[in-house]
Structure 1
């Protein structure tokens, strides 16, 4: 069952959908509560995902007993606001507001709140988790590692020059301001991730021409330097940035959902121990 929701974040109204499990999963469910997975879309994206990536992921997750929340960042999809007028700090704050909403639901297991972030949404998920201990697990699909450099590369040199000259540019019908691009330089996911102590899965395709697959290895190395938390990675041979073919997507989902199930089982097993 899908339930359309609107979440107030400052002056913005974030549009989203809460998708309920279609069946129980006894290994995951605890005292009438369900694990919650929140999906964070990427740069100028939306809660549907390219080629329905997030829709398909949510359908699979709900069939396996998970509660899923997909939402549009401000100025994207059906949410109010102008995406390029704010900064990366606002995307982090909006994500935390969505976590507030999920955390307040009686049916949510507060010990199983998971963020799935794709591309820039992956970087936002990392930065959010480093600031919010309610995030227990992270799944990063082709995550941005250097927000300032990566987004500059996406929009191109001509757009950057226009921003420096006039303070804004039009990119794919989104007005990106200098405030937005400057904010990207203020955040470093690869160093700030040390503030997060939970488990992480990173999945990246070798044929990704948008975000380098090398980031997968770099992220894992940095996560390994933490004192707590595990980090696993999976590289999909010839997979592109949005895992667009059926075979790439099936592999993405298989790897991701098996990992999420494993983390849940591990947490459940540990809960049986008492000191």
Structure 2
């Protein structure tokens, strides 16, 4: 049987005096658990995100008695302001990773604290929204109960991304597997020798994998235990904010889509090198893998997994 939920359009003034628009998805009063989830999207699109899965998750959470606020950062969706035009998406996303929407998130948190007195407040970040959630949460430490972070990017660039390649390690591996399957196909050799194959992708994938293997071999031959990220392109805003929150014993749940380059980088550069070696230092940190799920989380089974893990964590 369907459970009644309510929706309300809200308008929040950010620190620059711009109106941020959002949607509150609320449970019926008798089902209200006095818990609020503030959803921080990547900042590249609007509060619905690709595939509209955040709206779907918000509706299901409200049915369980949890209020959800989805909002558009300045210059996106319905909110006021303009983001810089005519720049590559990758460059814009780097600015998101550097915290360009943190102040918007702080404004939303401050608004929610006044509106939802005596509520437990949680921050839900996805992709670049994880940076906004962590950085803002570190500044409002006492007001945030916990963090759910989906597909958190820990590097400002891919492990091997530089001027020669924009290919992630996971994509490089998948490309190699595809070409290995075609090794004995004459038609594939004809395409390759005639120059019709994507040479940039083939040799770029080889370069990425060799680069990664060299780095991995060096770390084994010359081990260098550390309690801080050592990769030169590790996102230090992510690290500093995470460390403040974790040391305050705040609960953090990372949801990692299995078929995502961000997950590969997270595991290699953060989980294996930091979290696994210093478990006692981060006892409130939980990591959950989402099998057969890609970065978009737009398929029904992926949405259901996110909802299931989110509710399990919040109701633990």
Asked if Structure 1 and Structure 2 have the same fold, meaning a TM-score greater than 0.5 normalized by the shorter chain, the answer is: yes
CA-based RMSD of the aligned residues comes to: 2.9
Partner residue of 1:257? 311
- From the superposition, tell whether residues 127 and 20 of structure 1 become closer, same or farther in structure 2 (CA, over 3 Å): same
Partner residue of 2:266? 215
Give deviations 1:240-268, integer Å, cap 9, x for gaps: 00222211221111111111122xxxxxx
- From the superposition, tell whether residues 91 and 187 of structure 1 become closer, same or farther in structure 2 (CA, over 3 Å): farther
The aligned length equals: 224
Q: TM-score, normalized by length of structure 1?
A: 0.72
Please list, as runs of the form range in 1=range in 2, the aligned pairs for 1:1-275 lying within 5 A after superposition: 1-9=6-14, 10-22=16-28, 24-25=30-31, 29=33, 34-84=34-84, 88-105=98-115, 107-110=116-119, 112-133=120-141, 134-146=143-155, 148-149=156-157, 187-196=236-245, 197=248, 198-209=250-261, 211-215=262-266, 219=270, 221-222=274-275, 227=281, 230-262=284-316
Give deviations 1:38-60, integer Å, cap 9, x for gaps: 00000412211211111001001
- From the superposition, tell whether residues 128 and 256 of structure 1 become closer, same or farther in structure 2 (CA, over 3 Å): same
Give deviations 1:69-105, integer Å, cap 9, x for gaps: 1100111111111234895444111101000111001
Could you tell me how far apart the structure 1 residues matched to 2:254 and 2:234 are?
23
Tell me which moved more, 52-61 or 223-232.
223-232
Cα shift at 1:192: 3.1
Could you tell me how far apart the structure 1 residues matched to 2:268 and 2:122 are?
21
Give deviations 1:142-188, integer Å, cap 9, x for gaps: 01112x325x96xx989xxxxxxxxxxxxxxxxxxxxxxxxx99843
Cα shift at 1:108: 4.0
Could you tell me how far apart the structure 1 residues matched to 2:314 and 2:268 are?
20
**Equivalent residues of 1:23, 1:62 under 8 A apart:** no
**Equivalent residues of 1:205, 1:213 under 8 A apart:** no
Cα shift at 1:191: 3.6
**Equivalent residues of 2:44, 2:76 under 8 A apart:** yes
Could you tell me how far apart the structure 1 residues matched to 2:18 and 2:38 are?
19
**Structure 2 residue runs without a partner (length 5+):** 1-5, 86-91, 167-232
Could you tell me how far apart the structure 2 residues matched to 1:248 and 1:7 are?
31
**Equivalent residues of 1:194, 1:226 under 8 A apart:** no
Q: TM-score, normalized by length of structure 2?
A: 0.63
Question: Larger C-alpha radius of gyration, 1 or 2?
Answer: 2
**Structure 1 residue runs without a partner (length 5+):** 159-183, 263-275
Larger strand proportion of the pair: 1
Secondary structure class of the residue paired with 1:238:
strand
- From the superposition, tell whether residues 102 and 219 of structure 1 become closer, same or farther in structure 2 (CA, over 3 Å): farther
